[in-house]
Amino acid sequence: MVSDQDRDPVELFREWLARAHETEPNDPTAMTLATVGASGAPTARMVLLKEVDDRGFVFYSNAESRKGVEIAQNAGVSLVFHWKSLRRQVRIDGVAERVSDDIADAYFASRARGSQIGAWASEQSRPLGGRFELEKRVARFAAKFGIGAVPRPPFWVGYRVIPNVIEFWTDKPFRLHERISYERDSEASVDGWSVTRLFP
C-alpha cells in the first residue's frame, strides 16, 4: 500500500477535496487566501477554488480589488483549506499568476447571469455609500446588457497559484497531529517534490 508520503501532492489533494465534497455541509472549495500589501502586513479572506490541476489552484476575482492590487505588487500568496467534517487542513504557499483571457472568458460565460451582472456592478473593496447604490448599479448594467450575452469585464480575471509548498494536516488524538510537507524540488524522488514529516 502506498502511503500519503509517497504520493503526488496534487493527486492527494484531489482525493481529499473529493471527500470534502461528500462531507462538508457548505462550500468545500472555500479557501483562505493570504496576500501581502505594500506595508508588508498580511491580509486574508475567503475565496472559492474553481479548478485544480498539475499547474496549480485557480480562483477568480476583480483585479482592482484589494487582493488583486496586492497580488500585482507581490505575487507570493498562501492558501488554506480547512474541512471541519474531515478534521483535515491543507496549506499551500506559492506564486499567483493570471490565467489566460481565453480561460477567464470561458469560466465567466459559465457563471449565472446574475453573477455576471454583479461582477460589472461591484467596485470590489472600494467604499459603498449604501445598499441602494449597489442595487442601482446592478439595475444599470442589467439594462445595458438587456437579454444579450454579458461579456467578461476587463478587470475580472483568474489567478492560478503555482504551489511551492503543500502541507497536509490531519487531526490526531492528544494534539499529536500528522503533518506532511511537500516542497517543490526538481531532483526529488516524488514527482519533483521533496517530502518531510513535521512535528505537530
What is the residue-wise DSSP string for 87-108? TEEEEEEEEEEEPPHHHHHHHH
Give percent of the chain above pLDDT 90: 90
Label residue 3 by pLDDT band (50, 70, 90).
low
Label residue 30 by pLDDT band (50, 70, 90).
very high
Mean pLDDT (the chain) is: 94
Domain extents in the chain: 4-112+155-198
Is 90 exceeded by the pLDDT of residue 185? no
According to DSSP, the β-strands at 156-170 and 88-98 are: antiparallel
3-state helix, strand, coil in the chain (%, to 5): 30, 35, 30
Label residue 5 by pLDDT band (50, 70, 90).
low
Report the candidate in 75, 55, 60, 57 with the shortest Cα–Cα distance to residue 16. Answer: 57
The larger pLDDT score, comparing residue 152 to residue 190, is at: 152
Report the candidate in 107, 39, 48, 125 with the shortest Cα–Cα distance to residue 79. Answer: 48
Give percent of the chain above pLDDT 70: 96
- Within the chain, strands assigned E span 30-36, 42-48, 51-53, 56-62, 76-83, 88-98, 156-170, 178-184, 193-198
Cell numbers 448594467: residue: 141
pLDDT at residue 98 in the model: 98
- Please state which architecture CATH assigns to domain 4-112+155-198: Roll (2.30)
pLDDT at residue 1 in the model: 35
DSSP annotation of 151: P
Catalytic residue among 175, 179, 184, 197: 175
Is 70 exceeded by the pLDDT of residue 190? no
For residue 154, the tally of other CB atoms under 10 A from its CB is: 10
pTM for this structure? 0.92
Report the candidate in 188, 190, 169, 191 with the shortest Cα–Cα distance to residue 180. Answer: 169
Is 60 exceeded by the pLDDT of residue 2? no
The larger pLDDT score, comparing residue 191 to residue 136, is at: 136
Contacts of 179 (CB under 8 A, 6+ apart): 167, 168, 169, 170, 197, 198, 199, 200
Residue 175 appears among annotated catalytic residues: yes
Taking only the tens place, the pLDDT of each residue in 82-131 is: 999 999 999 999 999 999 999 999 999 999 999 999 999 999 989 999 99
pLDDT at residue 189 in the model: 59
Report the candidate in 167, 181, 161, 192 with the shortest Cα–Cα distance to residue 61. Answer: 161
- 163 and 93 in contact (C-beta within 8 Å)? yes
